[in-house]
Amino acid sequence: MAGRVVVVGGGLAGAKTAEALRESGHDGGIVLLEAGAELPYERPPLSKGYLQGTEERSSVFVHDEDWYREHDVDLRLGVRASALDLAGRDVVDASGERHGFEHLVLATGSAPRTLDVPGAELHGVVYLRTLGDSDALRAELAAGRRVVVIGGGWIGLEVAAAARTAGCSTTVLVRDALPLRGVLGARMAQHFADLHRAHGVDMRVQVDVARLLASADGARVAAVELTDGSRIEADLVVVGIGAAPRVELARAAGLAVDDGVLVDASLRTADPRVLAVGDIARAAHPFLGTHVRVEHWATALNQPATAAATILGRDAPYDELPYFFTDQFDLGMEYVGWVGPAGFDEVVVRGDESTLELVSFWLRDGRVVAGMNVNVWDVVDDITALIRSRATVDLAALADPGAALADLV
């Protein structure tokens, strides 16, 4: 098993780990185990371009089938890892086959949180996590259909935008006072609520679902009943209430788990031959000074380079700032930084909130900790530099579109 790396999980993080190993000069064996039947693919298009029909299905795949063969990556589709034998350096799959390793990379991703109310098992109640889910949902989004989205996070709002764009009657149900309020704060979250309402989405806040009601023949969902007794007719219910990291293998093997698999800045678990990347990795972050777990595309894309470096004995701690993006209707947005549990003191906006062409900054103790550009482009690098500078900024200059961000560092 000298030099052999087994990667468990064939999503973006798993495929990029195999790619990074080869690009970094690893010439040992690489085995990539994926429980699903599809080649590794990226998830953002599943709720964005592919769902809306603006991107081809083939565009979601990280590599074509030939790439794995040409780079001597043993891709095993339909193989589910069932246990880790860390003492014996084996991954045991569901068939009982053992896959020996010198290094193991866990890239098992996240699973959608399920709705726990009566009727949640009815046909027509769907989740969006896999390419198959996106295929099925895309086929359901037709003009005139009544779609209810439960959850006002990124996935829920992106699905709502796709449904309205397809001509569906769309309702979004949010427990909080605003969608995304916990992420963005009330001022910026209000813009997303207003955006959806302006496009005809029935955005209902501070509501709870009591149960889902079946059609007369019991065949599928027909309505959503709220705890106040009101009912919303539905041909389709999309549940988007968050995701949980798939840490069962790690926990059963005795690895430290606390809202993800705990790893150091080089992505090593307590067992130095076992690493974790992507959604499941709660990693020590050198710049932020705490452990963070980020369920976004950029983490799955970028952490594998650090994992490969660690396996090859090189020092390359992962310190990229969290980054994510969204596209909803005519709004495009990028967000970089980390507010974290310490929160923020104020929000400073440069640009025009009425037209949603702006850059907003979250500050704590006079320093920028996160920034979001909305329909304004090519500023992420400047925002990142401003955050990393830890500089106490002039608020008037920060709000002034005529003042170069680079000059504030």
β-strands 281-285, 290-292: how paired? antiparallel
Chain centroid to CA 279: how far? 7
Taking residue 317's Cβ as centre, other Cβ atoms within 10 Å add up to: 16
Whether the CB-CB separation of 40 and 61 falls below 8 Å is answered with yes
Q: For residue 122, name the pLDDT band (cuts at 50, 70, 90).
A: very high
Q: What is the pLDDT of residue 409?
A: 86
Q: Which residues in the chain are classed under CATH 3.50.50.60?
A: 5-111+244-311, 125-239
Inter-helix orientation angle 12-23/297-311, to 10°: 40
CA–CA gap between residue 146 and residue 235 (Å, rounded): 5
Where are the strands (E) in 235-339, listed by range?
Answer: 236-239, 243-245, 261-263, 274-276, 281-285, 290-292, 323-328, 331-337
Q: For residue 1, name the pLDDT band (cuts at 50, 70, 90).
A: low
Q: Is the pLDDT of residue 269 over 80?
A: yes
Instruction: Output 219 or 141, whichever has higher pLDDT.
Output: 141
**89-100 per-position pLDDT tens digit:** 999 999 999 999
CA–CA gap between residue 34 and residue 77 (Å, rounded): 5
Q: Which two tokens stand for residue 32?
A: 């990539």
Would you call 303 helix, strand, or coil by DSSP? helix
Average pLDDT (29-42) is 97
Q: For residue 2, name the pLDDT band (cuts at 50, 70, 90).
A: low
Q: Which two tokens stand for residue 328?
A: 């909803």
CA–CA gap between residue 252 and residue 182 (Å, rounded): 32
State the pTM of this model. 0.96
Taking residue 23's Cβ as centre, other Cβ atoms within 10 Å add up to: 13
Average pLDDT (61-72) is 98
Which residues have CB under 8 Å from 54's CB, separation 6+? Answer: none
Class of domain 330-408: alpha beta
Residues constituting the chain: 409
Would you call 85 helix, strand, or coil by DSSP? strand
Would you call 241 helix, strand, or coil by DSSP? coil
Superfamily of domain 5-111+244-311: FAD/NAD(P)-binding domain (3.50.50.60)
**142-200 per-position pLDDT tens digit:** 999 999 999 999 999 999 999 999 999 999 999 999 999 999 999 999 999 999 999 99
Q: What is the pLDDT of residue 323?
A: 98
For residues 108, 136, 196 and 200, what is the CA-based torsion angle, rounded to 10 degrees? -170
Q: What is the pLDDT of residue 187?
A: 97
Average pLDDT (377-405) is 97
**286-308 per-position pLDDT tens digit:** 999 999 999 999 999 999 999 99
What single letter denotes the amino acid at residue 73? V
Average pLDDT (62-78) is 98
Residue 76's DSSP bridge partners are: 33
Q: Which residues in the chain are classed under CATH 3.30.390.30?
A: 330-408
DSSP states of 42-78 = -SHHHHTHHHHTSS-GGGGBSS-HHHHHHTTEEEEET
* C-alpha separations of 3 from 31, 89, 101, 305, 308 in Å: 11, 12, 8, 17, 12
Q: Looking at domain 125-239, which CATH architecture does it have?
A: 3-Layer(bba) Sandwich (3.50)
β-strands 146-150, 236-239: how paired? parallel
Q: What angle do CA 356, 390, 403 make, to 5 degrees?
A: 45
Whether the CB-CB separation of 261 and 108 falls below 8 Å is answered with no
